[in-house]
Amino acid sequence: MWYAWLEEQRDPMQSLSNWAMRGCDAWTSPAMPCMPVAAAGYDWLYRLVRPTPAPPPFGIAAVTVGDRSVPVVEQVVDSTPFCALRQFARAPAPVAPRRGQSRTAPPDIFLCAPLAGHHAVMLRETVETLLQDGDVYVTDWANARDVPLAAGRFGLDDYVLAVERFLRKLGCANTHVIAVCQATAPTLAAAALLASEGEVPPLSLTLMGGPIDTRLNPTAVDRLAQSHSLDWFRDTVIDTVPPRYAGSGRRVCPGFIQHAAIVATHPHRQLALESRYWSSRLSVDETAIANSLRSLNEYAAILDMSEDYLLDTIRVIFQEQHLARGEWCVSGRGVQPLDLASTALCTVEGDRDDIAGAGQTHAAHALCNAIPVQKRCRLTIPDCDHYDLFTGPRWHDVIHPAVVQFWASVR
């Protein structure tokens, strides 16, 4: 098995990685101020051969709101064996409302991170931006290799139930929900289940670049999922967690397979991140080096996914389209998006998104057609790929302001 074989190489690679790190430190010392190329080369080698690192911390100590720097406190406020609900709370301060916002209490923002390879820290930039508008709660999904077998299985239903649990704990009366990519379908399902049971649903639901209806304009990702059997995926991308991890014996889709797939699918993004890092190294700009390295580490923070969850997602979302067809049952309860009559709905797509095809996210409006027209919003962002939806200038300059304006219109 590849997983076990790669782990056998871990100790020799650790020695090489330590040597490369020492070389990088030596060439970046004050005694060697003119050797940025050598330092960058050693650092590249270190990142290439190091064992799979733990995800970097979010590290958001403060945010700028208006003209004030507001401290931020991070803590875990609820958890299951497979997910932590991470709160980013702004310190109380008399902050003037942003344009388009009233002076009422700022909302809570529930950000459902995708479980599709990357750790939740991939959304650090998104969290940092949303903190301008209120406290942010993020689903931080666990690396399945670190979850003991005694914790039981984790499938797509369990994902929905975790989101439902967190929303119920948080309370939805003053909560805006944002779901990114893979998270869109289970988050819509969780909100619908709450509404069906007569509980207060979220103020709004914003779905960004997700596979609500994969029958529409299938992408390469959709075609891959639809053209192979579950047995093929089980034989090709599933492996067993080796003994050195807490989840030893658990069947997973390993992170190294997902990382290879992500880089192969979006080589331009990997090259752009590497280019930015090397440019900062060669210019010996310490701030730029730190920022570009942080972006690289966040992008490379990959986790293992549970076999049950991956195969459930392929079958329910991509192959049989249970949500789009109105056939999805979660733990025996039917998912009825029609019950979301009071929750405002915003869908966001990028016109160059090669993961969620055109119309796949906007399809949520047809499922939630009890929501009044004045409480709906469809945004299709020009010249925007999948990652642009939540990072970079299109997120900052176009999408975030539009979402804030939408929130203000429905409060």
Position 39 scores a pLDDT of: 54
- Whether the Cβ atoms of residue 170 and residue 202 lie closer than 8 Å to each other: no
For 320-372, the pLDDT digits (tens) are 999 999 999 999 999 999 999 999 999 999 999 999 999 999 999 999 999 99
**Token pair of 274 as six digits:** 């590497």
Q: What pTM was computed for the model? A: 0.87
| 36, part of any domain | no
Residue among 135, 128, 176, 146 nearest 55 (CA): 146
- 402 burial class (0-12, 13-18, 19+ CB within 10 angstroms)? middle
Number of structural domains (the chain) is 1
Asked whether residue 270 is domain-assigned, the answer is: no
Note whether residue 98 is domain-resident: yes
- Please state whether beta strands 344-350 and 376-381 pair in parallel, antiparallel, or not at all (unpaired): parallel
Q: Is residue 190 part of a domain?
A: yes
Flag whether 337 is in a domain. yes
CA distances from 411 to 65, 231, 235, 343, 401 (A): 20, 47, 49, 10, 16
* Residue 136: domain span: 75-231+305-410
The C-alpha angle 306, 307, 312, rounded to 5 degrees, equals 105
Whether residue 336 lies inside any domain: the answer is yes
pLDDT at 31: 47
Q: Are strands 136-141 and 175-180 parallel, antiparallel or unpaired?
A: unpaired
pLDDT for 294: 76
Asked if pLDDT for residue 391 goes beyond 60, the answer is yes
Rounded distance between C-alpha atoms, residue 57 and residue 60, angstroms: 9
Task: For residue range 155-175, list pLDDT tens digits in order.
Answer: 999 999 999 999 999 988 899
* Residue 49 pLDDT greater than 50, yes or no: no
> Is residue 252, in this structure, part of any structural domain at all?
no
Q: How confident is the model at residue 92 (pLDDT cuts 50, 70, 90)?
A: confident
Which residues have a Cβ under 8 Å from the Cβ of 341 and sit 6 or more positions away? 195, 370, 371
Per residue in 168-183, is it b (16+ CB within 10 Å) or e — as a string? bebebebbbbbbbbbb
Asked if the structure places residue 320 within a domain, the reply is yes
CA atoms within 13 A on the CB side of 99: 4
- Convert the pLDDT of each residue in 262-311 to its tens digit: 777 777 777 777 777 767 767 766 777 777 777 777 777 889 999 999 99
CATH code for position 122: 3.40.50.1820
